[in-house]
Amino acid sequence: MKYGLAFLFAGLLLFSSMAVADQDKGPEKIELDGGSRGKVPLPHRTHQNTLKDCNACHDVFPQKAGAIASLKAEGKLKNKHVMNKLCIACHKTEKKAGKPSGPITCADCHVRS
């Protein structure tokens, strides 16, 4: 019992120090696999700064490199879901609202190498 409480206390200390530590924001820029249409550069940091909300995207896939590809491989995420329901949907909404927005045409997102 004594030890149990000691462990609980140590755990709480560890947890609170982790919460204070800087959150892992991942890379500034990310290059996504855009299949046959070519790669898609994502300015990750720009989005983090503009949107503030990580879950605007990470509701759909975890904060992990290759997360989209593995969900697709497991059949848990449809091809083009992220592109249509996240990227393009949000850019269109922002544009309609007259706010700064991102690309909505194929060639402005996909680059052929």
Residue 83: CB partners within 8 Å, gap ≥ 6? 34, 40, 109
List residues binding ligand HEC (CB under 6 A).
23-27, 30, 32, 34-37, 40, 42-44, 46-48, 50-51, 54, 56-58, 61, 63-69, 79-83, 86-88, 90-91, 94, 100-106, 109-110
- For 41-71, give one letter per residue: b (16+ CB within 10 A) or e: ebeeeebbeeeeeeeebeeebeeeeeebeeb
Nearer to ligand HEC (CB atom), residue 11 or residue 66 = 66
Minimum separation from the CB atom of position 18 to ligand HEC (A): 14
Minimum separation from the CB atom of position 5 to ligand HEC (A): 33
